[in-house]
Structure 1
Amino acid sequence: MSQPPMSQKERDAALKDLMGTDRTAMIRAATNLSSDKSTTSTLLGLLQGETRVDTRHAILYALSWHGDLGQWDLMVGLLKDPKESPLIRGQAAEYLSYDFMGVKTDSQEFKVAVDALLEALKDPSPEVRYCAVNALGCTGHLPLIPALEEMRDDKTPAPGWVGTVSDEASRALEWIVGMHEMRIKNGVP
């Protein structure tokens, strides 16, 4: 069941909370803004000037749910940027996981994102590796199965996530087959 559109007053209040310092209000605002696609350009503008990690993460979280492939290259760039915090790089991988079904496996966009995610499997941060494994499982691209199988050896816990990188790799191996079948059904090879 979808939420009714936010009023301008609610939208303004959420954007103010998103940019504030109260972590609870920021999370609530990001969640509310995640369902308001009319805020995409505003959020992108805020992201450009923001340096605080928690705020950047909240902005990226909201953007991840907008389903706008226009930010694909931005997210790949954030994932690949070693100067970004693991929280930001992990959220960028999560964005990719939500939108892979809209990108053909033989496209340049798909290749660039998969290459970045495969590189992220070697990241020193377990959070980044965890999120990269998750995103690769959402590709529905069966040639990635060996890379996911290798990650089952990574028993590192991922703080803030459920279980270890290995646990997520096992889940991703289950999803990749179902996502592949969905690609075939939807005609998005």
Structure 2
Amino acid sequence: MKDILAGDPIAMVKASKLLCYDKSTTSTLLRFLEAETRVETRHALLYALTWHGHLAQWDLMVGILKNVQEAPLVRGQAAEYLAYNFLGVRTDSTEFKVAVDALLEALKDPSPEVRYCAVHALGNTGHPPLLPVLQEMRQDPTPVPGWAGTVSSQASESMEWLERMHENRLKNGS
């Protein structure tokens, strides 16, 4: 646990990958996140929380995504949390609408990383009405340092994901 706060990037990555499998650490990670100001550490904490799959952090992650004072790395990780947890939220819920609205706003962000992660998350919604938005994002050829591809290539991939996730939603009745 101390390695995630250590400031050593290699130790932080290892710690966040280990902690992502230990859901008993959620409350501790949230406490650390509340007090932490360093971008890389906030990112590592959010990464671990993303994989815990607790929908109790949904509003927190939407708030982080919407907070333009947060670093793009942190906001992108908040979008990743939403991406990996969308199937646990019904498309007719307030939570779904608030998250989608935040992601749609993030598509206008000056940071290509935030746009890339928002496109990825929208693809994971499994919500067909969002296909035109993803189609439009295929016009953004901006490369994203640290990620494979461009906003455009991620939009194309996300369109395929959206269709698969929609099929999953239909099977699960959500």
TM over 0.5: yes
Q: Partners in 1 of 2:49 and 2:2 — Cα distance? A: 16
Q: Partners in 1 of 2:53 and 2:173 — Cα distance? A: 19
Question: Which whole-Å deviations, capped at 9, do the CAs of 1:36-92 have from their partners, x for residues lacking one?
Answer: 000000000000000000000000000000000000000000000010000010000
Q: State the TM-score, normalized to the length of structure 2.
A: 0.99
Are residues 1:86 and 2:105 paired? no
Are residues 1:70 and 2:56 paired? yes
- Aligned partner of 2:33 in structure 1 is 47
In the TM superposition, what is the alpha-carbon distance from 1:124 to its structure 2 partner? 0.2
Q: Partners in 2 of 1:21 and 1:74 — Cα distance? A: 23
- Aligned partner of 1:138 in structure 2 is 124
Structure 1 letter corresponding to 2:13: I
Q: Partners in 1 of 2:25 and 2:68 — Cα distance? A: 28
- Aligned partner of 2:16 in structure 1 is 30
Question: Which whole-Å deviations, capped at 9, do the CAs of 1:115-155 have from their partners, x for residues lacking one?
Answer: 00000000000000000000000000000000000000000
Superposed, 1:99-118 pairs within 5 Å as 99-118=85-104
Number of residue pairs aligned between Structure 1 and Structure 2 = 174
List structure 1 segments (4+ residues) > 6 angstroms apart after TM superposition: none
- Aligned partner of 1:147 in structure 2 is 133
Q: State the TM-score, normalized to the length of structure 1.
A: 0.92
In the TM superposition, what is the alpha-carbon distance from 1:171 to its structure 2 partner? 0.1
Are residues 1:179 and 2:165 paired? yes
- What SS class does the counterpart of residue 139 from structure 1 fall into? coil
In the TM superposition, what is the alpha-carbon distance from 1:21 to its structure 2 partner? 1.7
- Aligned partner of 1:119 in structure 2 is 105
List runs of 5+ in structure 2 lacking aligned partners. none
In the TM superposition, what is the alpha-carbon distance from 1:112 to its structure 2 partner? 0.1
Are residues 1:19 and 2:5 paired? yes
- Aligned partner of 1:157 in structure 2 is 143
Q: Partners in 2 of 1:44 and 1:75 — Cα distance? A: 11
The CA RMSD over aligned residues, in Å, is 0.4
List runs of 5+ in structure 1 lacking aligned partners. 1-14
- What SS class does the counterpart of residue 149 from structure 2 fall into? coil
- What SS class does the counterpart of residue 125 from structure 2 fall into? coil
Structure 1 letter corresponding to 2:163: V
In the TM superposition, what is the alpha-carbon distance from 1:187 to its structure 2 partner? 1.1
Q: Partners in 1 of 2:99 and 2:72 — Cα distance? A: 17
